[in-house]
Amino acid sequence: MYKNWNELEEACNNCKKCRLCNSRTKVVIGTGNKNAKIMFIGEGPGADEDSQGIPFVGKAGQLMNKAFEGIGIKREDVYITNIVKCRPPQNRNPEKEEAQSCKEYLDTQIKLINPEIIILLGSVALKNILGEEYGITASRGKWFEKDGKKILPTFHPAALLRDETKKIYFWQDLKMLTKINI
Ligand code: URA
Ligand code: SF4
């Protein structure tokens, strides 16, 4: 574990713990409020994120921003990050070992932010945080608890771009957050 944000950011920006370091442009650590009550965890950076160094700025991110606006969540009030901090080539799923190598950064982020709620965006985040046995279709919209945190899995915004019928569920799931004083 890293003691503070400076140590974490320094380590991430110079990280060579897995082979994703070979193809990345920028390490994508996270964005938003470091005292957030709600933290979102995606999969890994795509092309736009890799070039800008900021998570969820491409098409999927824009769709997520729209949902945030519609529901009344401010992007700057929450914290957003990913399972792996470097882009997997051709946007393939991060491999188990890559996610494992990167886990200490995510664990440190969770410890430093200490959110009440963690939203898992899609299958990769779900399986890495709750376990391989979970499936996103059966788990989305249900609350879980782990290490004292409330965990809510939902669809990945990129899945909504591929299948419009999933949008309503994503909105329903995020809508539950408006009952909380963000
Ligand atoms: N998809 C993700 O999982 N994360 C991003 O940051 C962008 C797209
Ligand atoms: Fe390091 Fe994570 Fe990037 Fe792999 S994905 S090089 S572990 S920061």
**pLDDT tens digits along 133-168:** 999 999 999 999 999 999 999 999 999 999 999 999
83, 41 contact by CB (below 8 A)? yes
* Higher pLDDT among residues 182 and 25, named by residue: 25
Return the pLDDT at 170: 98
Cα 113 to ligand 1 centre (Å): 20
117 pLDDT exceeds 70?
Answer: yes
Q: Regarding the domain delimited by 5-179, which CATH topology (the fold level of the hierarchy) does it fall under?
A: Uracil-DNA Glycosylase, subunit E (3.40.470)
Task: Name the residue of 7, 28, 98 whose CB sits within 8 Å of the most ligand 2 atoms, as the mutation to test its pocket.
Answer: 98
pTM of the model: 0.98
Nearest ligand to the CA of 45 is: 1
What average pLDDT is seen over the chain? 97
The 10s digit of each residue's pLDDT in 42-69 is: 999 999 999 999 999 999 999 999 999 9
Domain ranges in the chain are: 5-179
Q: Among candidates 163, 172, 164, which has minimal Cα distance to 140?
A: 172
Cβ–ligand 1 contact at 46 (below 6 Å): yes
Question: 82 CB less than 6 Å from ligand 1?
Answer: yes
Q: How far is CA 97 from CA 17, 19, 83, 84, in A?
A: 10, 10, 12, 10
- Answer yes or no: is pLDDT of 180 > 90: no
What band does 182 get if pLDDT is binned at 50, 70 and 90?
A: low
Q: What is the pLDDT of residue 37?
A: 97
